[in-house]
Amino acid sequence: MSDQVRTAGQTTTPDGHSDLSGEPPEPLVGYYRQMALIRAFELRAAEMYTKAKIGGYCHLNLGEEATVVGLMAALCPTDYLFATYREHGYALARGVPAERVMAELFGKATGTSGGWGGSMHLFDADLRLLGGYGIVGGQIPLATGAALAISYRAEPGERAEAVMCLIGDGATNIGAFHESLNLAAIWHLPIVYVIVNNGLGMGTPVSASSAEPELYRRGCAYRMPGTRVDGNDVLAVRDAAAGALDRARSERRPSILEAVCYRLRGHSVVDPARYRTKEETDRLRSLDPLPQFRSQLITAGILDGEEASRIDTDAEQAVSAAVAFAEDSPFPGQDQLFARTYATPVPNTSTSLPGEPLDCGPDQSDRTG
């Protein structure tokens, strides 16, 4: 039932990356802007945690930026997203202003959840981001239920709603994962289960915790199609996700998409990742998707070095502004200051291009996985 592919609908260069020729340059630059913003945001979040500005748990998307941006580029505004607790980058790429995300990490009233959720519980109903979930796999039954609701209230079609449910590799071993996939297959639900496989469930390698380490194959027991894609390739991820979402919308056919990528830090900001050897750490840094995509864009003549550096600087400045906004924002319960803060709209510093990544254009249905 599963078809393993590295890139979906993309020709590749000799070094294995998706070929950029034939791609309009503006969205590609937009993807790099988003990846740069996520990288700058997560580096600053780690810094703010060490300064005790952020409490609780904090899990970063460092090294997973291509997967994040590729997945969000495939979503339509009408699609629903359920995330894991490693969701800062997804909120940013979905269009949540960096100020509101940082304010939530700071526990401030101007955050996405009013300061009550923190790092693991970002939520924006207007953008149909229906939460990050601190319980491992807690989002899976809820996302499946949302897909069931969609199947009741609307007919399938190219413009129908769909659900994307993000899952970490460790969550594929819990009962709710299998129960949800079984029901989704039986009831023909419009949902795509995306396994973000960074190789480690906390500090345990996938090969040590799963008898089938190629996790997209888990759907075979439920006759559910699956695809494995290079999570360091933003275009491959985008097109594989778009194809899976198209099938969910038009055919009510659930599927699994496994994106293989690598986090460059520990499980959380307090994890020193001593379970990795120096050789493994060096190897993963050589696969860092951000400099790889930057180099691709420069080689293709889409950006030059000066333009790329300016994008990096803009991202850092946007994150600095987000930190300043979060520090100046009130804590929940400071009603008078809270009201005064909200009298002035929160500026939207999202680096998304108009219509990207949320716009689902008429050519979306032509993408295949």
DSSP string covering 310-347: HHHHHHHHHHHHHHHHHHHSPPTT-HHHHHHHHTSPPP
CATH of the domain at 57: 3.40.50.970
Q: How far is CA 7 from CA 80, 113, 197, 241, 243, in A?
A: 24, 36, 16, 11, 12
Q: Is residue 366, in this structure, part of any structural domain at all? A: no
Average the pLDDT over 334-344 and give the result: 54
- Locate 352 and state its tokens: 């998304």
Q: How far is CA 37 from CA 103, 297, 322, in A?
A: 16, 17, 11
Report the share of the chain in percent with pLDDT over 70: 83
Give the pLDDT band (50/70/90) at residue 93.
Answer: very high
Q: Where is pLDDT greater, at 77 or 13?
A: 77
Q: Is residue 10, in this structure, part of any structural domain at all? A: no
pLDDT of 14: 57
Place of tokens 């897909």: 147
Q: Is residue 368, in this structure, part of any structural domain at all? A: no
> Among 120-124, 126-130, 256-260, 344-348, which is the least confidently predicted range?
344-348
Q: Is residue 326, in this structure, part of any structural domain at all? A: yes
> Among 31-45, 190-204, 298-312, 339-353, which is the least confidently predicted range?
339-353
- Total domains in the chain come to 1
> Among 277-281, 304-308, 338-342, which is the least confidently predicted range?
338-342
Q: How many other C-beta atoms can be found within 10 angstroms of the C-beta atom of residue 222?
A: 17
Q: What pLDDT digit, counting tens, does each position of 31-69 carry?
A: 999 999 999 999 999 999 999 999 899 989 989 999 999
Q: What pLDDT digit, counting tens, does each position of 1-12 carry?
A: 334 444 444 566
- Locate 90 and state its tokens: 């997804």
Place of tokens 């600087």: 313
Q: How many other C-beta atoms can be found within 10 angstroms of the C-beta atom of residue 272?
A: 8
Q: Is residue 3, in this structure, part of any structural domain at all? A: no
Q: Is residue 70, in this structure, part of any structural domain at all? A: yes
pLDDT of 368: 36
Specify burial of residue 14 (Cβ count, 10 A radius: 0-12, 13-18, 19+): exposed
* CA 314/CA 309 separation, integer angstroms: 9
Q: How far is CA 281 from CA 11, 71, 232, 337, in A?
A: 29, 25, 16, 46
Give the pLDDT band (50/70/90) at residue 348.
Answer: low
Mean pLDDT (the chain) is 86
Average the pLDDT over 137-144 and give the result: 97
Q: What pLDDT digit, counting tens, does each position of 171-191 carry?
A: 899 999 999 999 999 999 999
Q: What secondary structure does DSSP assign to 177-231, as a single string? A: HHHHHHHHHHHT--EEEEEEE-SEETTEEHHHH-SS-SGGGGGGGGT--EEEEET
Q: Is residue 358, in this structure, part of any structural domain at all? A: no
ω into 225 cis (within 30 of 0): no
pLDDT of 311: 98
Q: Where is pLDDT greater, at 200 or 73?
A: 73
CB of 343 closer than 8 Å to CB of 64? no
Place of tokens 């999570």: 231
Q: Where is pLDDT greater, at 117 or 346?
A: 117
Residue-number span of the structural domain to which 120 is assigned: 31-343
Q: Is residue 6, in this structure, part of any structural domain at all? A: no
pLDDT of 318: 98
